[in-house]
Structure formats: C-alpha cells, structure tokens
Amino acid sequence: MDHQPVLADAVVELLLPALEHGGVFVDATLGRGGHALRILEAAPEATLVGIDRDPVALESSRANLAAHSERVRLVRDNFSELASVLERLGVAQVRGVLLDLGVSSPQLDEPHRGFSFRVPGPLDMRMDPLRDLSADTVVNGYAEPELRRVIHRYGEERFAGRIARAIVRARPVSDTAELAEIVREAIPAPTRRTGPHPARRTFQAIRIEVNDELGSLQKGLPAAVDALEPGGRVVVLAYHSLEDRIVKRFFVDQASGCVCPPSFPVCTCGAEAKLRILTRRPATPSAQEIEANPRASAAKLRAAERLEPASVAPLEEKRSA
Ligand SMILES: C[S@@+](CC[C@H](N)C(=O)[O-])C[C@H]1O[C@@H](n2cnc3c(N)ncnc32)[C@H](O)[C@@H]1O
C-alpha cells in the first residue's frame, strides 16, 4: 500500500498562512513526500528542507518531488539534530515545521525492514539502517527486567511481565513471525480474542526503543520552535498517546509564559510564552479518511504559532491573570 498523507487538508490549511509569501518550510519526517508535495503545490513561493533518517524514504521522496526539485533540499538526519541541519544549509530561520511521527506505510509493508507483526521478517525495525541498536538486540539481548520495562512503558502493555518472560524463555527468537506468536501465546486467551492484534503493543514498544522515538521527539520539538521566526507554525501528527502527551505538554508549557506563583507582585522567573496554540483540541481524521486509510485512525494533529519575543525587561510587571 502507498503511504497516503494523513489529515493532509488540515496540515496544509494550518501551515499555509505562514508560507503564502514564501520562506523555508521543514518537513522533518519526509517519508515519501506526500505532505511535502501538497505544501509545495499550495505555497509556490516556499522552499522545502526535507529530512528523514531513512535513506530509502529520502530516495522515494526525491522521485515524488522531482517536479519541484529546484525548491527542495533533502537531508538524511534525525530531526532531533534540526539546529545543526539548518546551520549546515545556511538557513537562519524557517516559516513552518511539520512532524508526522512514527513509521510510514512503505516501512511497515517491506517485510525485510522487520516492522510488521503480520509478515515474517528479520528482527530489525531500524528506521536508520546505520543505527547500532536493532530489534534483535532488544529481543534476544536485553535482560528480562529491562525488556519488561520497554514493553510496559512504550507499549502501555499490561501483560508486559508475562510477555518478557515468554520471550526470554524462547530465546533465540529468529524473526518477527516467531516473536508475534510468542507474544500472542503469552497473552491470556480471553484478551487475545478481543481488540487489535495481540502483538501490536509489543511491536510498537520495541520499535520505539530501537529508534529512540520519544527521545528524538523531546529534542526535536524545542529545536523546531527555536528555528521558527515569529508567525511561523509547527504542526505535529502523533499516532499514540505517549507521543501525543509529549506534544500536548510541550505546547502548553511553551504557551504559558510566566510560572511565578500568583502571590508574586512581579515576575521573577523570566519565562516567556513562545507559542500560541492553534488547535484547542487535536484534529482527528474523519470516518471517511479512516475507511480509506485505516492507519490514520489513531492520528492526532496539534499545531502552534511562534510568538514575537517579548520586549526584554529584567523584572516584568505581572499581568493580573
Ligand atoms: C509517518 S512517515 C511520514 C510520511 C510523510 N508525511 C508522507 O506524507 O509521505 C514518518 C517518517 O518519518 C521518519 N522519521 C521518524 N522519526 C524520525 C526522526 N527522529 N528523524 C528523522 N526522520 C524520522 C521515518 O523514517 C518515516 O519515513
């Protein structure tokens, strides 16, 4: 299945006001360039910096964006390194950043990448094939308590203990099909019969660990905000609650400004609101979009706009809130 850009109309609508007079737009999770293409078409004055840590994704987006190649620069890197990517390109500030998190459909659909519990493949799951840590190290190498922690924390899996024990007992685990079967059998039969595939949470957990997905997000969000010029916009699509919680808290925090206790007559913390939140509630796909693209079902879109820096004053009078 081709990767269909999720909530593409909403993404364009939210980014366009910042890009209609041109400027640099960063698609920090380029994938096959589905969202990037929509934005290049909608904002003919804008230029794109496209980032992905997966060289295969970069090559397919190079082909998909060929009609706009003079406005496109592609970089293979982790978006957590956004500041140094932009510095290398000589870009001081940008007007828009998109983070469409997680894996792409082509990554999931290629059995040899080892992301899918539905097809047999090697225990890999690396978005960046040069990364040392692969699913094999996690599945066959981690001590049981560590494995349980990963499955519990990143899969929010209540049977993490049983699953970790079963994996350790079955070692060496040879491929994704065997892993999926071990997980299925470790889950109590009544639970197995309801809800999504019983291995879904465990595979998600191992993938997050292998790619340090939450660590990258925690570094990438402030880097995106720091790169934005006033009026620039950041849009984030998250696909599970762990990611969405990080995005939501970060936006609220950056939009809050002063954190002094209400009893203080003047602000002493100096914290300044950097963002205005544009999505009071996250946007989610319609039933129609989910029917056409079931992988969109968990998507939550949040967006925010960079504020002008407040005038520099060492002791700012507190607003009566
Ligand atoms: C959901 S797909 C993006 C799809 C894209 N929006 C499109 O329309 O084709 C996510 C992509 O982000 C990449 N990715 C995930 N985490 C990354 C990170 N920390 N740094 C760079 N790329 C990352 C993945 O390799 C994958 O290609």
Tell me, yes or no, whether 74 and 140 share the same domain. Answer: no
Question: Considering the domain boundaries, does residue 56 fall inside one?
Answer: yes
- Ligand 1 pocket check for 201: Cβ under 6 Å: no
Question: Considering the domain boundaries, does residue 1 fall inside one?
Answer: no
Q: Where are the alpha helices (DSSP H) in 90-157?
A: 105-109, 135-141, 144-155
Tell me, yes or no, whether 101 and 217 share the same domain. Answer: yes
Chosen domain end from 159, 192, 211: 211
Query: How is residue 89 written in tokens?
Result: 């390109």
Tell me, yes or no, whether 201 and 170 share the same domain. Answer: yes
Tell me, yes or no, whether 256 and 300 share the same domain. Answer: yes
Domain that holds residue 132: 116-211
Amino acid 321: pLDDT: 39
From 52, 85, 125, 293, give the residue whose CB has the most ligand 1 atoms within 8 Å, as the site to mutate: 52
Terminal CA-CA length for the chain: 51
Report how far residue 4's alpha carbon sits from residue 6's, in angstroms, rounded to the nearest whole number: 6
Tell me, yes or no, whether 48 and 62 share the same domain. Answer: yes
Question: Considering the domain boundaries, does residue 81 fall inside one?
Answer: yes
Tell me, yes or no, whether 197 and 231 share the same domain. Answer: no
Q: What are phi and psi of 175, to 5 degrees?
A: -155, 180
Atom of ligand 1 nearest to the CA of 36: 8
Q: What is the CATH number of the domain that holds 299?
A: 3.40.50.150
- Condensed to tens digits (0 to 9), the pLDDT of residues 31-80 reads 999 999 999 999 999 999 999 999 999 999 999 999 999 999 999 999 99
Tell me, yes or no, whether 49 and 89 share the same domain. Answer: yes
Chosen domain end from 211, 235, 251: 211
Report how far residue 67's alpha carbon sits from residue 248's, in angstroms, rounded to the nearest whole number: 36
Question: Considering the domain boundaries, does residue 3 fall inside one?
Answer: no
- Ligand 1 pocket check for 33: Cβ under 6 Å: yes
Atom of ligand 1 nearest to the CA of 30: 5
- Ligand 1 pocket check for 52: Cβ under 6 Å: yes
Amino acid 3: pLDDT: 61
Tell me, yes or no, whether 52 and 193 share the same domain. Answer: no
Atom of ligand 1 nearest to the CA of 4: 8
Amino acid 195: pLDDT: 75
Ligand 1 geometric centre to CA of 269 (Å): 36
Amino acid 301: pLDDT: 98
* Residue 58: count of CB within 10 angstroms of its CB: 19
Amino acid 269: pLDDT: 86
Question: Considering the domain boundaries, does residue 306 fall inside one?
Answer: yes
Query: How is residue 277 written in tokens?
Result: 């939140």
Tell me, yes or no, whether 219 and 201 share the same domain. Answer: no
If we measure between CA atoms, which residue out of 127, 131, 135 comes closest to residue 55?
A: 127
Amino acid 265: pLDDT: 87
Tell me, yes or no, whether 97 and 221 share the same domain. Answer: yes
> What pTM value is reported for the model?
0.93
Q: What is the CATH number of the domain that holds 145?
A: 1.10.150.170
**Which one-letter DSSP state was computed for residue 85?**
H
Report how far residue 278's alpha carbon sits from residue 96's, in angstroms, rounded to the nearest whole number: 14
Residues of the chain with pLDDT under 70: 1-3, 311-321
Question: Considering the domain boundaries, does residue 111 fall inside one?
Answer: no
Overall number of domains in the chain: 2
Instruction: Report the DSSP pairing between strands 275-277 and 23-27.
Output: unpaired
